[in-house]
Structure 1
């Protein structure tokens, strides 16, 4: 275990770009599982879904008058 720690520490000092790229790369997938429970615990609720159709009134339709092109 000590050898792994030293290898990681050496990589962080000698090749910081590679080290931090790997850190960010492994953090992303971990956040997929960590963030939703944290958001739920903090009281976040999803927004209401956008309507996919226009609501049709519940009454008989009247013919339009006065806008003919004739």
Structure 2
């Protein structure tokens, strides 16, 4: 009998507060998905993309001093 009360409470919240209900549902499923999705992706051969550069690459040469305005 207790299961029926929980079901009707969840149904009530789904109809009257869908955003809160879905946020709660996603919050419960994300830890489970993190434990299952990443190993499955590795098994399928997914390779991570390289990280984007965080700064502009500095040339590996001696810098030329600027004299005056270079316009």
> Structure 2-normalised TM-score?
0.52
Alignment of structure 1 residues 1-70 onto 2, 5 Å: 7-8=2-3, 10=4, 11-12=6-7, 14-15=8-9, 16-17=11-12, 21=21, 24=25, 25-64=27-66, 68=69
1:34 is displaced (CA, Å) by 0.9
Gaps of 5+ in 1: 1-5
Q: In 2 relative to 1, CA 26–54 (structure 1 residues): closer, same or farther, beyond 3 Å?
A: closer
Q: Give the total of aligned pairs.
A: 60
Runs ≥4 residues deviating over 4 A? none
Cα pair distance change 1:18/1:28, threshold 3 Å: farther
